[in-house]
Structure 1
Amino acid sequence: MIKVPIIKLRQNMIKKLTTFALILLVVSVTALPALGEDDENNFIALDHGYTVDYYKSYGAPAIQASITGDPEFERGETADLKIKIANVGVISGFKRLNANQKRINDSIEETIALKEMGEEEEATTAKDIEATLQSETKYIEVESTGNFQNVEELETGHTAPLSYTIKVDGNIPAGNYELLLPVTYQYQANVRTVTADAINLGITDVDYSREYKTKTEVLKIPLSIKSEPKFEVTNVSGSLIQGESKVVNITYKNTRETMAKDAFARIIVMSPLSTEKSTVRLGDIGPGEEKTASFEIKAAQDATVKKYGINSEIKYLDDDKNTKFSESMKVNLPLEATEEKFSVTGIAILLIIVIALYQIVNVHRKRNHNNENVSGDENEY
Structure 2
Amino acid sequence: MVKGVIFFKEGEIPFVIDDYRMELFTDNSLLKDFSKEYNFKTNYILQGQCFCNGFQGQKSTFLVEQSMGSTCYLRCYIINMLTHEDGYDAIGIQSPFLDDIFRYKYKYLDMVRAGSNLAVEPKDVYTVPFSMSDRQYEVKFRIGHDNRLGLLEDFNRKGELLLSLQTNDIQECYDISVVFYRFAMFMMSHADVPLKLITLYKRGLKAGWFYCPLISDKASSCQDGFFHELDVMKYVPKILNNIALDSGNKITQSVPLGHLGNVDSMFSPQRFVEQVMAFEYLFDKLDHIKAQNSKFTLKDELMYMFNQFPQLLSNHKMSSEKVSEQIKEIRRTIAHGYAYYYDFKSDPNTQYLIILLDKLIRNMSLLCIGFAKDEIEQCPLY
The TM tier, using the shorter chain, reads under 0.3
TM-score (norm 2): 0.25
The structure whose Rg is larger is 1
Q: TM-score, normalised by structure 1?
A: 0.25
Task: Give the structure with the larger helix fraction.
Answer: 2
